[in-house]
Chain A
Amino acid sequence: NAGVTQTPKFQVLKTGQSMTLQCAQDMNHNSMYWYRQDPGMGLRLIYYSASEGTTDKGEVPNGYNVSRLNKREFSLRLESAAPSQTSVYFCASSPLGSYEQYFGPGTRLTVT
């Protein structure tokens, strides 16, 4: 099992460009999450999906959209990137009935 995979690993965008971060898990987990991690700020939840077909806002959703494409895949879209969105983005998943999260390797995004 690959666990949680994320693509790309690194990305540089110019202000105003758009992009989609991809996340997939092969553990048959129900819940999936998108976080960003910034120095001194810790991990902050952007959006989560408790189950296939549902998505909810987290702590810092502004500037982002998500799609739970199917049970395996949960994508994060930046429609118009801003320098404030420079961060490391982590996707995570957790199985039904458990709060244990399994994290992907992260995507390091720089917006210039």
Chain B
Amino acid sequence: QKEVEQNSGPLSVPEGAIASLNCTYSDRGSQSFFWYRQYSGKSPELIMFIYSNGDKEDGRFTAQLNKASQYVSLLIRDSQPSDSATYLCAVKPGNQFYFGTGTSLTVIP
């Protein structure tokens, strides 16, 4: 079983809608969780991190963590065409980072 699982998509949402991206992880000892955005041909960039159960909001982005269910999600409100990218979930159970394969999001104008 992979450390981090994501639905590869593609996920398509209309402009202005809420995009919901999901991630599950296998190591219950994981304490830190991250969401990265990667545009085609570019390097990943960190958009959110969360350490505690519950929600964390930053502008149009909300990260949700449920350690009991080993589940992390990212909500993007008022989705824009510029949000079209691949979103990578990452966890850090020890000294190493483990990334999911990413979910491809397309926001349709």
Segment of B13-21, B69-77, B88-96 in the binding face: B88-96
Residue of B nearest to A91 (CB): B43
Cβ-based interface call for B98 (8 A): yes
B25 to nearest A CB, angstroms? 13
Cβ-based interface call for A48 (8 A): yes
Q: Chain A interface: which size bin?
A: 20 to 34
Cβ-based interface call for B80 (8 A): no
Q: Are B96 and A59 in contact (CB under 8 A)?
A: yes
Inter-chain contact total with CB atoms closer than 8 Å: 47
Q: Are B49 and A99 in contact (CB under 8 A)?
A: yes
Chain A residues 23-79 with CB under 8 Å of chain B are: 33, 35, 40-45, 48, 50, 56, 58-59
Q: Are A40 and B101 in contact (CB under 8 A)?
A: yes
Cβ-based interface call for A101 (8 A): yes
Q: A41 to chain B: which residues have CB within 8 Å? A: 101
Q: B4 to chain A: which residues have CB within 8 Å? A: 42
Q: B49 to chain A: which residues have CB within 8 Å? A: 99-100
Q: Tell me the B residues contacting A by CB distance below 8 Å.
A: 4, 8, 32, 34, 42-46, 49, 88, 90, 92, 95-102
Q: Tell me the A residues contacting B by CB distance below 8 Å.
A: 33, 35, 40-45, 48, 50, 56, 58-59, 90, 99-106
Query: 11 more A-B contacts (CB under 8 A) besides A40-B8, A42-B100, A42-B102?
Result: A40-B101, A42-B4, A42-B99, A42-B101, A44-B99, A45-B96, A99-B34, A99-B49, A100-B34, A100-B49, A102-B46
